[in-house]
Amino acid sequence: MSPEDRMEVLTRQLCAGQSTESNWEHVQQAPPDPIIGVTDAWRADPDPRKLNLGVGAYRTEEGKPYVLKAVREAEQQILADPAMNKEYLPISGNPEFNRLARTLALGPGSSAIQQNRVATVQALSGTGALRVGAEFLSMHLPASIPRIVYLPNPTWGNHKSIFAKAGFQVREYRYFDAATRGLNFAGMVADVSAAPPGSVLLLHACAHNPTGVDPSPEQWSRLLEVARSGGLVPFFDMAYQGFASGDLDADAASVRLFLEAGLELVLAQSFAKNMGLYGERAGALSVVSKTKEVATRVESQLKLVVRPMYSNPPMHGAAIAARVMGDPKLNALWKEELRGMAERIKSMRQVLYDQLVARNVPGDWSFVLKQIGMFSFTGMTRHQCEQLVSKWHVHLTLDGRISMAGLSAATAPYLAEAIADVIQNA
């Protein structure tokens, strides 16, 4: 029986109330997620040497997940607060969190904030912010404009699905140059310049995932001009503020550059990495408009996106983040811990590089030192990555991305040995 005939029989049986098979009998097994699936495979791996270098999550020198001291302290304060309750948050989330989050990204002196031109809603971390932002744009860009988004090639895998779900046609702009392991800036400018007016231009604010390659300040200025003259809608994904340089303000420079040039823009923020709030799903979506009046209407429409999706956001993570950002003592402690995390990752770059050079692994590995943020994009082939997993129990995404934040001085030599083997023998 053809699948179509089978469906018809099933439908008829169902209507007659006599189906013996599951209504979901035809459902196909979906593949595991290319990033989250790596953690599942690592969990299931019984080998004691196993390493999880897949998902971008910070680990200590001992390989353990890290809850920041500032976060623990904020949580204790929340628990001890007699005014704490579990009522629903507003549809747009915790107002104090929203205010502090946008100020963290856009800067306290930003004219957009001072002129109340920013509509912010709390979101289910960075992913949720992207999804709500994409949905809002899909609904409210002028009707005459086709829904097209330009993503860097490569980009975080979920970007494509998020924008496609919101009805966008997904296109790519050139970004990574495999030969130099740097930025293909000429290709990027050419592709972005050719985008039809009104297209959404997705930009990683800093610490590009997966490549670890960011534009220079001069290149950002040029991109700003291209976006402005092309009438594009910049959508910044800022999942790693503080993880590129260790400094929250320095890492927000690209967003602030576009903002101060007077462009309208969309911004997705995540506190997963920089505050270690991964599972708390603390994030924010901000839409910057030309006037306060437009921003007010935009906020009302953002609420209409949120309400039928999940009604209102969860409170605990946002309450923690608001305390950490808002309390001067906790804020200082957080910044110190953030700098510490960024520095530990950086030091892992040097350790891995030294280990690879000491083993005379063929190739120029200096990119390990140059790349920025949580990841190293190694250029290893899919086959080499598969060998790392099956033979060495080093779990990573099959595009050759390594989470440097999951590495320690104790495990770097083992990784270098494994890489040396698969590069020479796979």
The residues annotated with a catalytic role in the active site are: 156, 237, 273
For ligand KET, which is the closer residue by CB, 59 or 117?
59
Q: Is 55 in the site for ligand KET (CB under 6 A)?
A: yes
Residue 319 touching ligand KET (CB under 6 A): no
In degrees, rounded to 5, the angle at the alpha carbon of residue 190 between the alpha carbons of residues 189 and 195 is 95
Which of 237, 251, 280, 337: binder of ligand KET (CB under 6 A)? 237
- Rule CB under 6 A: say whether 313 interacts with ligand KET: no
**Is the Cβ of residue 176 or residue 278 nearer to ligand KET in the bound state?**
278
Cα-Cα-Cα-Cα torsion 87, 88, 94, 96, nearest 10 degrees, comes to -30
274 binds ligand KET, rule: CB under 6 A = no
Q: Which is nearer to ligand KET, 199 or 269 (CB)?
A: 269
Rounded to whole angstroms, the Cα distance separating 205 from 187 reads 19
Per-residue interface string for the shown chain with ligand KET, residues 333-372, x marking contact by CB under 6 A: ----------------------------------------
Q: Which of residues 131-170 bind ligand KET (CB under 6 A)?
A: 156
Residue 53 binds to ligand KET (criterion: CB under 6 A): no
Write down the least CB distance from residue 156 to ligand KET, Å.
4
Phi-psi region of 75 (alpha: psi -120 to 50; beta: other; left: phi over 0): alpha
Q: Rounded to an integer, what distance in angstroms lies between the CA atom of residue 101 and that of residue 237?
A: 14
User: Is 251 among the residues that bind ligand KET (CB under 6 A)?
Assistant: no
Instruction: CB nearer to ligand KET: give 239 or 295.
Output: 239
Give me the least distance between CB of 398 and ligand KET, in Å please. 13
What is the rounded distance in angstroms from the CA atom of residue 212 to the CA atom of residue 208? 5
DSSP string, 72-116: HHHHHHHHH-TT---PPPPTT--HHHHHHHHHHHH-TT-HHHHTT
* Contacts to ligand KET from residues 185-214, by CB under 6 A: 204, 209
N-to-C CA span, the chain: 44
- Specify the 3-state DSSP secondary structure of 337: helix
209: β partners: none
Element (H, E) at 310: helix 292-310
**Least distance in Å: CB of 237 to ligand KET?**
5
Q: Determine the Cα–Cα distance for residues 134 and 155; give it in Å rounded to an integer.
A: 16
The DSSP bridge pattern shows strands 282-288 and 118-124 to be antiparallel
User: Cβ of residue 152: shortest distance to ligand KET, in angstroms?
Assistant: 10
In angstroms, give the least distance from the CB of 327 to ligand KET.
23
Residue 149, CA distances (Å) to 163, 196, 234, 239, 366 in order: 7, 10, 10, 19, 33
246/317 with CB nearer ligand KET = 317
One of 93, 107, 126, 234 touching ligand KET (CB under 6 A): 126
Residue of the chain from 120, 127, 199, 254 that contacts ligand KET (CB under 6 A): 127
Closest CB 357 distance from ligand KET, rounded Å: 27
> Would you count residue 272 as binding ligand KET (CB under 6 A)?
yes
Decide: is 321 part of the binding site for ligand KET (CB under 6 A): no
Matching residue, tokens 């003592």: 329
Answer yes or no whether residue 35 interacts with ligand KET by CB under 6 A.
yes
Q: How far apart are CA 102 and CA 286, in angstroms?
A: 7
Contact indicator for 121, 284 with CB cutoff of 8 Å: yes
Note the residues at the interface with ligand KET (CB under 6 A). 35, 55-56, 125-127, 156, 204, 209, 237, 239, 270, 272, 278, 283
